[in-house]
Amino acid sequence: MTVLHRDRAAGELALDAAFAELERVENVMSLYRTESEISRLNREGALNGPDQYLVEVLRFAREISASSNGAFDVTVQPLWSLHAAALKEGRLPDAMAVSEARSRVDWRRVEAGVERVVLHGEGTAITLNGIAQGFAVDVVLRTLRAHGVQHALIDTGELGAMGRNAEDAAWTVGIQHPRSQEALATVTRLEDRCLATSGDYQTAFNADFSRHHVFDPATGVSPGALASVSVAAPTGMGADALSTTLMVMGAERGMEWLATFADTDALLIFKDGHRTMTPGFLVLA
């Protein structure tokens, strides 16, 4: 986190509050913490008295699932678990196993109420890895604003910017090249928007990136056309969910769907290296 503030003590207090909020998000949404709310929900199938952050994210996820005809789906966790287990054995899961796991994927199985969250159906499990990092950006920015911060750049795995940098210019950020860990695909500017990138390289299950951590709920396997999608949007949660959804939908259908969202732009990089982007996506280099 980079915060600009005239009062150093006030800026540090704001940062402390923001990091405390990040810890809350982790305790609610991290699959790597066995006692997080999402881990308990996946084990038990229901959760009483959920943190309202969980309810907020699940309700937004449901909206995106409905508007994308299920291209975004937090219940793809059985597919992730299947592929992760097969990877440990140095193989990919067979078609029958994929089909069985896919039968447990359906975003309509998730019921998110203020007092109780329920996963309906046998074997239903969720992952928020396609939305939680973006939500964390929003939480941090809200916290900083509440502490009087007007200028900041945040990186929680996804990026969020408000105000201006120390040179009184828009914040400049880089986008990872999907085929070179040491290179940037491009550089862009962020001013009071958030940026999220989904890519086939982030967790790949095979050498040619044809199987990776983004799953198409309709097929049970990874979508084949795009190497990465970067979305700039007013909120981190929106940018994160939309970048994941566009990976699944592909360029033609995805760009048409994206046009329904205000002040939102995208850069799509195909597996063969060519690119397409919305007119409002600023490319500096």
In the structure encoding, which two tokens stand for residue 276, read together?
């397409």
Q: Is it the case that residue 166 has pLDDT exceeding 80?
A: yes
- If pLDDT is split at 50, 70 and 90, which confidence band does 142 have? very high
User: Do residues 58 and 110 touch, judged by C-beta distance below 8 A?
Assistant: yes
CATH no., domain 157-277: 3.10.520.10
> Cα separations (Å) of 166 from 3, 151, 187, 188?
10, 9, 18, 17
Q: Is it the case that residue 162 has pLDDT exceeding 90?
A: yes
Task: Classify residue 259 as exposed, middle or buried by CB count within 10 Å of its CB (0-12, 13-18, 19+).
Answer: exposed
- If pLDDT is split at 50, 70 and 90, which confidence band does 134 have? very high
Euclidean distance between CA atoms 6 and 229, whole angstroms: 36
Q: Is it the case that residue 246 has pLDDT exceeding 90?
A: yes
In the structure encoding, which two tokens stand for residue 103, read together?
């039968």
What's the average model confidence in pLDDT over 113-124? 97
Q: What pLDDT does residue 202 have?
A: 86
Q: Domain limits of the chain?
A: 157-277
pTM for the predicted model, two decimal places? 0.95
What's the average model confidence in pLDDT over 26-38? 97
Q: Tens of pLDDT along 66-92?
A: 999 999 999 999 999 999 999 999 999
Amino acid identity, residue 26? E
Q: What share of the chain has pLDDT > 70, as a percent?
A: 100
What's the average model confidence in pLDDT over 3-30? 97
Q: Is it the case that residue 285 has pLDDT exceeding 80?
A: no
120 phi/psi in degrees, rounded to 5: -90, 150
- If pLDDT is split at 50, 70 and 90, which confidence band does 43 have? very high
In the structure encoding, which two tokens stand for residue 224, read together?
């084949």
Q: What pLDDT does residue 130 have?
A: 95
Average pLDDT, the chain: 96
Q: What pLDDT does residue 50 have?
A: 98
Question: Around Cβ 146, how many Cβ atoms within 10 Å?
Answer: 11
Q: What pLDDT does residue 24 have?
A: 98
Give every CB contact of residue 115 below 8 A, 6+ residues apart in sequence: 48, 49, 50
Euclidean distance between CA atoms 270 and 281, whole angstroms: 16
What's the average model confidence in pLDDT over 95-122? 97
Collapsed DSSP state (helix, strand, coil) of residue 128 = coil
Q: Is it the case that residue 192 has pLDDT exceeding 90?
A: yes
Question: Around Cβ 23, how many Cβ atoms within 10 Å?
Answer: 9
User: Do residues 211 and 222 touch, judged by C-beta distance below 8 A?
Assistant: yes
Q: What pLDDT does residue 239 have?
A: 98
